[in-house]
A and B are shown apart, each in its own frame.
Chain A
Amino acid sequence: DIEMTQSPSSLSASVGDRVTITCRASQNIDNDLNWYQQKSGKAPKFLIYRTSTLQSGVPSRFSGSGSGTDFTLTIGSLQPEDFATYYCQHAVTFGGGTKVEIK
């Protein structure tokens, strides 16, 4: 089974900061990598699919990149509503999550 490893598990950042979250697959997954955002007490929200395609309605400050085994989610300028936990996913496997907290 393919394992998905996210880093860091948590980070502290300020509004306006550029934030990067990394996701590593245990084997080549081409570009089949999705990202979700989950706020406390809410269901996850679909952000990005196939590595870099933004879901409709997702702000352009979010971007995704990578291929093969190494992927990144970048928030260009962190906004107050972006404080949440972010998960990467390949097929049936989710990463462990990265919690973005206020510094």
Chain B
Amino acid sequence: EVQLVESGGMLVQPGGSLTLSCAASGFTFRSYAMSWVRQTAGKGLEWVSGIGLSDSTYYADSVKGRFTVSRDNSKNMMYLHMNSLRAEDTAVFYCVKELSAGFIRWHFDLWGRGTLVTVSS
């Protein structure tokens, strides 16, 4: 089955750090760019970060310098390392896959169920 499964979301204090993981299965992970998209409670969607095939990385201005995306093609895994977390980072984080193999086009055809990150003291 083609799927993405996120994990690692939890309650963390402001200024803290957290790493999210995304386990991919059912497709040739190493052939697809991947991204993280988040959604705040009752609000819309915000693209957070993306990673290409050659480990090229991309970040939204709101997280640049604080978040780092990485991937391990041998394990079919993507990660999001988050530092200096703020209350406004509280959201459900989704792992998403590109529609077509190759570079990032921001056509997200597969989404995980999401993992909740809550930043609060």
B-contacting residues of A (Cβ < 8 Å)? 34, 36, 42-46, 49-50, 55, 87, 89-97
- Docked Cα-Cα span, A67 to B56, in Å, equals 30
Choose, from B14-22, B40-48, B65-73, B74-82, the stretch at the interface.
B40-48
Residue count of chain B within 8 Å CB distance of chain A = 17
Say yes or no: is B60 at the interface (Cβ < 8 Å to chain A): yes
Give 1 or 0 for each of B76-119: 1 = CB within 8 Å of chain A CB: 00000000000000000010000100000011111111100000
Number of A-B pairs whose CB atoms are under 8 Å?
48
Query: Complex: how many Å from CA A17 to CA B37?
Result: 32
- Closest chain B residue to A92 by CB distance? B47
Distance, CA A46 to CA B108, complexed state (A): 7
Closest to A91 in B: B106
Q: Are B99 and A95 in contact (CB under 8 A)?
A: no
How distant is A29 from chain B, measured CB to nearest CB, in Å? 11
The one of A46, A90, A92, A97 that contacts B44, using a Cβ cutoff of 8 Å: A97
Q: List 29 A-B contacts (CB under 8 A).
A: A34-B106, A34-B107, A36-B45, A36-B108, A43-B94, A43-B111, A43-B114, A44-B45, A44-B108, A46-B99, A46-B107, A46-B108, A46-B109, A46-B110, A46-B111, A49-B99, A49-B107, A55-B99, A87-B45, A89-B45, A89-B106, A89-B108, A91-B106, A92-B58, A94-B45, A94-B46, A94-B47, A95-B44, A96-B44
- List of 10 A-B pairs having minimum Cβ-Cβ separation, nearest first: A43-B111, A92-B47, A94-B45, A46-B109, A91-B106, A49-B107, A97-B44, A96-B44, A94-B44, A44-B111
